[in-house]
Amino acid sequence: MSAGFTALQIAVIAAVTALLRFLPFLAFPPGRKTPPVIAYLSRALPPAVIGMLVIYCLKDTAPFAPPYALPEIISVALVVVTYLWKRSPLISIAGGTLCYMLLVQVVFV
């Protein structure tokens, strides 16, 4: 590939990315009422996405084989308790991830 072709690829990727970032602001300008379906999706999708992520993360858990899903149970409990305590998704997810990594690589080796 030539340098010109690579530069053109980067320019197209940057333009599409910018368009996708600005499109919601163009479609829904300030001061205009948000359509009901968009308002519904803004309420319904975050819990649905979190639920799908939890299922995806726990799908390969083996509760009947050692360590009997203890790292997953402990880490999920830590995420829930930390979120209820601090109300910060970033802190609770980071804490749960760190806890899980320590448990599977140090404790339950």
Work out the pLDDT band at 10, boundaries 50, 70, 90: very high
pLDDT of 22 strictly over 90: yes
Are 21 and 43 within one domain?
A: no
Are 77 and 48 within one domain?
A: yes
Are 94 and 43 within one domain?
A: yes
Are 9 and 59 within one domain?
A: no
Are 23 and 40 within one domain?
A: no
At 91-106, the pLDDT tens digits run: 999 999 999 999 999 9
Place of tokens 């979190």: 50
Indicate the number of domains in the chain: 2
38-47 mean pLDDT: 93
At 28-39, the pLDDT tens digits run: 888 889 899 999
pLDDT of 109 strictly over 90: no
Are 37 and 16 within one domain?
A: no
- The first and second tokens of residue 12, run together, are 């197209």
Q: How far is CA 75 from CA 6, 52, 82, in A?
A: 44, 17, 10
Are 54 and 6 within one domain?
A: no
Tell me the three-class secondary structure of 22-60, residue by residue.
Answer: HHHHHHCCCCCCCCHHHHHHHHHHHHHHHHHHHHHHHCC
The C-alpha atoms of residue 61 and residue 9 are separated, in whole angstroms, by 41
Provide the residue range defining the domain that includes 87: 33-107
14-40 mean pLDDT: 93
Are 87 and 38 within one domain?
A: yes
Are 42 and 89 within one domain?
A: yes
